[in-house]
Structure 1
């Protein structure tokens, strides 16, 4: 039996260990419209059960607390689960250790299964097979990812973040950042879903939402990246990674002000 400590996923779990507080503080929450769309597609006003695979620190799980009867977050990283449990007050939201393709959840009991910024870390066909087992007929599987960085009023801040991301590329190539990782290109999600034969219908659409951010949060988003955290664990300094430069570029642009940010979510859905 596969377990959350299965060696095949050891590198993935290690990648997301040690910075759950940073991740939870700076990553965006799901768009408000997502629940409306998924409930409509599932034909339910209030789902009996929503399962959130690869739930991380639980922000995408807690999102459903007032919309569903029961919500279960499945996450292999004990560090991330501890953060999720500490941040969750709703009694109808629980978390369990597990992998996306072996959740331990009973057959055909969920109305909706979601993967927030996580499907690319999962084995596609086994994950879709598990979704088909857990979802009831006409249930909805939805994987959604954000475009990075968010649109900010100061385009210069977006440019600074984009330069930072480009700058860590060579470091990833010259250090063992991706050794042992199980990962897949996000752009292939929809094609893999359709090819699996597990869904009667698949499609992709985009949702938009706004929140607020600052120079500190944009630096925090950079620090929430698994690649950046792996480089730090390998002993590189924030200056070597480019964090210090990013902060220095953003400070005169944004100061301590908070401004409106705009996010785009790419949602891939499959109907059982």
Structure 2
């Protein structure tokens, strides 16, 4: 009888372990540590790479040894990587479209293409120096290949707000999303956000910033704060090249320009469901 109980407990541990793997694999990749600006430059094309390396993920189980015990609370799951490659094109001075290919490497799985995202952005108020900038974005994200069995597609939308005073700029990216299809599991809308407070130096070539990101899967069942995703941390951006305002007169909105922007930063988890540390990289090249 004791042996049967031991076998049942062992099977339960294996089941819990498999469930933990699926839960971690299906979690948001969070390469989208992205702060989208409200300003749209006419005729501009942007190529962007965003990458994140997560450590200190919630404890799980080794996918190689399902017979092993669940990792203790003080042992971390393996490193998780996520990457996004985005193409943005400004169709007019107030409208752009973007397509993003998302790649990730879930715990215990291979590097893969996991989703394709299509977005559009419309600029409503142009920020010139100090003051307010306002745009509205919307789009859809569709899991592909193996990821189709892990997460549903969604539609998302929200404003992009910029507030500037002297060398200080605050950017807000609230975003609402709704899952679609037979795998959808929401009563209400989901909510994710990013905000950035930055200080601009060296004629705006260097930015020193604090950024925060978070996500609530279902606002109708938000649950405790500690069961949500929230992180915060420092970031710097440096831009090589000249912007449009440096090449051409005020009336020449299509002045030629080339810029390369690089960024390094870190995000520190604020809840038990968020990775302890995520190192993030951004590389953007824009031209027209």
User: What TM-score, normalized to structure 2?
Assistant: 0.31
Report the structure, 1 or 2, having the larger helix content. 1
Output the TM-score relative to the length of structure 1. 0.32
Higher radius of gyration, 1 or 2: 2
Higher RCO structure (Cα 8 Å, ≥6 apart) = 1
Decide which structure has greater strand share. 2
